[in-house]
């Protein structure tokens, strides 16, 4: 799995998207998330720390993961986006598609109080 996965208080934190986009296995990320959903995980944080502006395929991957999680009645939020990533989300009008938090701890806490 090229994306990093860790579980914090029943919330799955996915990170390493910068390196993932340079890896041809980035298409496996949806399959990997589906496996996590099948194991019962419904709360996800996409950690964007250190990530520059992504291209359209990178943003498309994030949207695909969000739709997959939401299709299974899950919740997904973004954490620690860089200023470049925040601008891109605003330009693409995706800033209302996700709740965005300054860090992973805040994102996990939000998901743990949402149910």
| Residues 21-80 pLDDT 10s | 554 555 578 888 999 999 999 999 999 988 766 777 778 888 999 999 999 999 999 999
Is residue 11 predicted with pLDDT exceeding 90? yes
Q: How far, in Å, are 10, 38, 99 from residue 110 at the CA level?
A: 12, 23, 10
Q: Which CATH number fits domain 4-110: 3.30.750.24, 3.30.1360.120, 3.40.50.720, 3.40.50.1820?
A: 3.30.750.24
What pLDDT is attached to residue 21? 54
Q: How far is CA 103 from the centre of its chain?
A: 13
Domain boundaries, the chain: 4-110
**pTM for the whole structure:** 0.89
Q: Are 67 and 94 in contact (CB under 8 A)?
A: no
Q: Are 104 and 73 in contact (CB under 8 A)?
A: no
């Amino acid at each position: 799995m090229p994306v990093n996965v860790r579980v914090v208080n029943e919330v799955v934190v996915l990170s390493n998207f910068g390196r993932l986009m340079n890896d041809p296995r980035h298409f496996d990320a949806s399959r990997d998330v589906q496996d996590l959903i099948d194991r019962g995980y419904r709360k996800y944080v996409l950690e964007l720390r250190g990530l520059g502006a992504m291209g359209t395929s990178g943003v498309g991957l994030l949207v695909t993961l969000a739709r997959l999680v939401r299709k299974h009645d899950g919740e997904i939020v973004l954490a620690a986006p860089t200023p470049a990533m925040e601008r891109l989300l605003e330009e693409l009008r995706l800033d209302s598609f996700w709740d965005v938090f300054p860090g992973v701890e805040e994102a996990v806490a939000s998901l743990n109080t949402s149910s």
